[in-house]
Amino acid sequence: MSRFRSGVLAHCARAQKGFTFIELMVVLIILAILASVGAPIYMEQVKSARAADAQTTIGALKTAAGMYRQKFGKLPRDVQELEQKGFIEIDQATQRNWKFEFTKNRDKLQLVRAISTENMPGGAGNTVEYNAETGKWSGYGQPEE
């Protein structure tokens, strides 16, 4: 019996030296599936994080425009007027990555928009919009409906 046992153990020890080709292929296939599912989710999170800077500034612009209207009885012409009159100060890093503008109808704010510049890691021309009439966000980094 001991001869049989030592022979089986010797055979098992020789067989456990490495992984088979099939085992390696199964692991690679599983990793490929995980990567194909995870990569798009990761990229959406990156976009969302980049857009958060624009969203924060848009919220501040909306508030500053409201304060401007309370003081002067009308909305400012543009974002630069808000900055010049001291109602808002946009961080230089944010200004390098985003250009801000808004549209109004008479004395009602309609849309506040941020457009990414060529300095933005995600590329130029991406737009984040806040519709002041509906209270909804759209554009870059926003979930698709």
Residue 4 is predicted with a pLDDT of 52
The pLDDT tens digits for 52-85 are 999 999 999 999 999 999 999 999 999 999 999 9
Query: What is the C-alpha separation between 145 and 22, in angstroms, rounded?
Result: 42
Q: What is the pLDDT of residues 12-65, one digit of tens each?
A: 555 567 889 999 999 999 999 998 888 888 888 888 888 999 999 999 999 999
Residue the block writes with tokens 């009159």: 85
Distance separating the N- and C-terminal Cα atoms of the chain: 71
